[in-house]
Amino acid sequence: MDNLEQIPQWRHWPQIFAQVPVAIFRRPGYDAAVRGKAAVRFAKARHPARFGKKLALSRAPAWLVLDNRLNLLSATAIRGRRSR
């Protein structure tokens, strides 16, 4: 979900959506990302979460937000533990 929010800052980001189906994992604190620039631009290509098993076989652009259980661990915290 954080990448959905940040992807408009990436170089040629629309090409990612145009070339491959995208699955978004929900993360705490990033709910606004589904109203952000990328989500709005590709709103017509969004599928409901229940479509998840079929997403990989879909023609791009296609994306969805999975109905996953929220994990409160951050990648930064995980990397910090691994480096110790």
Handedness of CA 67, 71, 74, 78 (dihedral sign): negative
Structure confidence at residue 29 as a pLDDT band (50, 70, 90): confident
pTM: 0.83
pLDDT in tens, 32-72: 899 999 999 999 999 999 999 999 999 999 999 999 998 78
The ranges assigned to domains in the chain are 2-83
Structure confidence at residue 84 as a pLDDT band (50, 70, 90): low
CA atoms within 13 A on the CB side of 80: 5
Q: What is the pLDDT of residue 36?
A: 95
Residues in a beta bridge with 23:
64
The mean pLDDT value of the chain amounts to 91
